[in-house]
Structure 1
Amino acid sequence: MKFSLVPSFLLPLWAAAAPAAPATPENPSFSVMSTRSGSPIHFLPMNAAGQKFWLGGETTSYCPISEGCPPGNQTVFGPGGYGLNVMVPGGQQVYVDPNGALSFTQAHSAYIPQGSAIGPFSYQPGQNWGYYIFSGWGASGFMACPTEDNRWQVFAAVQNATVPKGNVAECLGFNALANTADSSPAAWQYI
């Protein structure tokens, strides 16, 4: 058996250069909605904003072209959930930062902070909905943590996350229901 090592400084470039998996019925593009009965995060959409992910709030996007811009008002993950479904050359990769926050790369950049996890993420089909899962670092999926401005930031469900209010016990684990989306880009880029 032969092993090859990739220097850690090349991993973000290598991952960003990897082609996205094609959308198929078993591995579609998808949006995410949280479920946790009886909680303030039940049925909230997951939105990309400020290079992080939030439950509720608004998706933030940008398009530099005058015609042909996708709507950009809904956050859509590409097949497998390793990146966002965008038009921008090079795409935007999804990762978990060293503090445990679910994050995405800036457009035109493959920079991911050292100590981040670039997976494993997975889309698992279900009866009516699929599921979006992060299983790195021994996580059991995702959790939403309250912020000072009354939003819920998405983190990997790990006990050592550095959360906005400093207390992981205030975070709520949730099921990330994945709803199949159109395979065409949902935004030029998310910001």
Structure 2
Amino acid sequence: MVSFKIAVCFFCSLFMAVVAIPTGSEITTSTGTETTIAIQANPTLEDPDPWYLNLTSGIREYTMQLYIQRYGRGDERPIPDPRVLNGADYTFWIGKNTSVMECPFEIKQVCGIGGSDTILRHDPATSTLWLFTSDPVGDQQVYIDPTGRLAYLPNRSDMKFPDGSITDGFKIHRGFYGQYLLDNFSAKSGWSVCPVEKGIGPWQLFTETKNENLPTGNSSDCIGINVSFGGASDKPEVWAYT
């Protein structure tokens, strides 16, 4: 399985926004100097470092941080700051804070290490995505809902996936410039971020942009992007996400 958090950055014409670098290295991009790591996670590719052994499942899990890159060079509109995708209201946003459930215990080892990042894990065997939480029985699966939004199930819920949802098909692969990308090959189209008002955030993550499903009702307000990834914490930060 793979664990990662989501963030965003430009895919500039110099293709240097995200590159594979050693753990903890610094890179300079158009947005400044960041400490990050890009990790190869496709099991058909060379085995990456760092990794840790999940003592419960016996599976090696890889930690990652997701970035969003510009999809093409034709659209010059800027991707909005702070360029971090957070889970809030059971979907994913740029410009909204992560929404979490308060831990019912006071033991740090049980509740999580604390933090404000949205961290996920990827299961390459089933091509599924999950939120990375400390609740041992509260797995929250990530899916694409019928409106095209990337969404996730509530914690410890009996909620069923809405009819027409895409629950698997999430793949990690190499991009043209060597960056590592997350895609869903069951979806009809690639990733886009769409604002709640024309040019004004917060921005919501979609895989399909039909006018009737968008906050502004106009797909031309959305910006097409790629999702790539780097390193993240290998320990859950929160009990659950809301």
User: What's the TM-score once normalised by structure 1's chain length?
Assistant: 0.76
Show the counterpart of 2:116. Answer: 73
Pick from 148, 156, 159 the counterpart of residue 100 of structure 1: 148
Give 1:129 shift.
5.0
1:188 aligns with 239
Give SS of 1:169's match: helix
Q: Could you tell me how far apart the structure 1 residues matched to 2:171 and 2:180 are?
A: 10
Deviation string for 1:81-130 (max 9, x for gaps)? 61111122131100011111110000002522121111311223578853
Choose from 34, 54, 77 the match for 2:68. 34
Q: Counterpart amino acid of 1:32?
A: L
Cα distance, 1:183 vs structure 2: 2.4
Which of 229, 233, 236 is the matching residue for 1:178?
A: 229
Q: Which runs of 5+ in 1 are unaligned?
A: 1-20
- 1:52 aligns with 91
Distance 1:175 1:43 in 2: 17
Deviates more, 1:179-188 or 1:166-175: 179-188
Summarize deviations over 1:26-55 as a string: whole Å, max 9, x none: 352323222226513377111101100002
Change (3 A) 1:175 1:43: farther
Structure 2: distance between partners of 1:40 and 1:67: 39
Answer 1 or 2: which has greater helix percent. Answer: 1
Tell me the amino acid that sits aligned with residue 196 of structure 2: T
62-71 or 99-108: which moved more? 62-71
Q: Which has the larger radius of gyration?
A: 2
Look up the match of 2:193: 144
**Counterpart in the other structure of 1:122:** 171
**Identity across aligned pairs (percent)?**
27
How far has the Cα of 1:57 moved from its partner? 2.6
TM-score normalised to structure 2 length = 0.61
Paired letter, 2:106: S
* Cα 1:110/1:180, change in 2 over 3 Å: farther
Pairs aligned (count)? 170
2:2, 2:41 within 8 Å by CA — same for their partners in 1?
Answer: no
Unpaired runs of 5+ residues, structure 2, are 4-38, 43-61, 71-75
In the alignment, is the contact (CA less than 8 A) between 1:34 and 1:42 conserved in 2? no
Classify the secondary structure of the residue corresponding to 1:79: strand
Residues 31 and 75, structure 1, Cα contact 8 Å, conserved in 2:
no
Structure showing the higher strand proportion among its residues: 2
CA RMSD of aligned residues (A): 2.7
